[in-house]
Amino acid sequence: MKSFSESYKAAGVDVTAGYQAVELMKSHVARTTTPGVISGLGGFGGMFRPELAGMKEPVLVSGTDGVGTKLRLAFLMDQHNTIGVDCVAMCVNDVICGGAQPLFFLDYLAVGKNHPEKIEQIVAGVADGCVQSGCALVGGETAEMPGFYPEDEYDLAGFCVGMVDREKIIDGSRMRAGDVILGLGSSGVHSNGFSLVRKVFRLEESNIGRYVEELGKTLGEELLTPTKIYVKSILQLIKECDVKAVSHITGGGFYENIPRMMKNGLTARIEKSALPSLPVFHLLQSVGNIPEHDMYNTFNMGIGMCLVVSPEEADKAKTLLTAAGETVYVMGQVAEGTEGVVLC
């Protein structure tokens, strides 16, 4: 007998819509398949066999995150095919900070009402993010929760597992005073600070479709730009350079995230004049009258990732990263001190 419950549907949960959504997402999941995948959709757990050849002591590295209130933009614009990239990015960009190759990803999608075509768009974005980071989408969960979420709203979170040989873990322990700090350009605001963004731009008041001359696009188009994924560029770099530390600039901006990669007794001295000047951050600061400290303590300010290398390898690292498609900034230097980060 085919699975169907008229009583459950009357309570707001349509299981047949759930099956339809799964059918629609299968082609997107297939795009992310890597050699380690040994299970398909439909099982109770995603199965993955990692390649251990050449590894002395494999270490699993995990990360989990959501998209936060950036989701409100997707609701307001009724555009759902990029928000999944943000979800993947927030997880895999964390995992790569330890030098780990992301292996597989799972998502959790909770909806007020199951609209299969909308769910397909969301999962298509998740699949795009997995392809960009070279990891497989091995499963997930779509939960229809009427009465808990409004019908046209949802929440999205994800979970990633990566792997690195223990002797190759990047942890900042070999950092020295005089080392160079490189910054990789961001694609914009990424996925952090959106409660402040929404307040400053009053996005709930239909301002999202307003064309902004400084941005060269509408406010919504700028803000919904997906978070940049840096995994493949950094993985390639660590094969050819000694990368001593990596920091993902997410919530908390420079002041919270850069100290997380610093060794005790050392400080990151960041030259503000060496950083990119993205119009969206100037606009946020001027419209919201936000103090400079709060900007650097909330947003990425045009830098999505920071990396530490020796002075001898700085030029080589910059060349390799540029060849990989990154915009690279020599943004500072490691110095003796206890502040964690100092902006000059």
Q: Give me the tens of pLDDT residue by residue for the chain, a chain 344 residues long.
A: 456 566 556 656 667 777 677 787 888 889 999 999 997 777 788 899 999 999 999 999 999 999 999 999 999 999 999 999 999 999 999 999 999 999 999 999 999 999 999 999 999 999 999 999 999 999 999 999 999 999 999 999 999 999 999 999 999 999 999 999 999 999 999 999 999 999 999 987 778 888 999 999 999 999 999 999 999 999 999 999 999 999 999 999 999 999 999 999 999 999 999 999 899 999 999 999 999 999 999 999 999 999 999 999 999 999 999 999 999 999 999 999 998 899 99
**Where are the strands (E) in the chain, listed by range?**
58-66, 101-111, 136-144, 154-165, 180-185, 211-212, 217-218, 245-248, 266-270, 303-309, 328-336, 341-343
Residue 25 has what pLDDT?
Answer: 81
**Candidate CATH numbers 3.40.309.10, 3.30.1330.10, 3.90.79.10, 3.40.50.720; the one for domain 6-42+50-168:** 3.30.1330.10
Pull the structure tokens for residue 67: 């998209």
Backbone angles phi, psi at 237, to 5 degrees: -65, -45
Task: Reply yes or no on domain 180-343 having CATH 3.30.360.10.
Answer: no
Neighbours of 123 (CB within 10 A): 27
Give the CB-side neighbour count of residue 221, counting CA atoms within 13 A.
10
- Please list the alpha-helical segments (H only) found in 211-306: 219-223, 231-240, 253-257, 279-288, 292-296
φ, ψ for residue 189, nearest 5 deg: -70, -20
What is the pLDDT, as a whole number, of residue 304?
98
Chain-centroid distance, C-alpha 327: 17
User: Which pLDDT score, from 0 to 100, does residue 24 have?
Assistant: 79
CA separation (Å) from 280 to 75, 188, 207? Answer: 21, 7, 15
pLDDT at 3 (0 to 100): 63
CB atoms within 10 A of CB 218: 16
Q: Closest by alpha carbon to 22, among 129, 155, 114?
A: 114
- Kind of pairing between the strands at 328-336 and 266-270: antiparallel
CB distance 203 to 288 below 8 Å: no
Contact of 313 with 242, CB cutoff 8 Å: yes
Domain ranges of the chain: 6-42+50-168, 180-343
CB 169 within 8 A of CB 98: yes
* Of 135, 132, 111, nearest in space to 121 by CA: 111
- Count of all residues that appear for the chain in the document: 344
- Rounded alpha-carbon distances, angstroms, from residue 128 to 31, 84, 89, 114, 151: 8, 8, 10, 21, 26
Tell me, what's the pLDDT at 5? Answer: 61
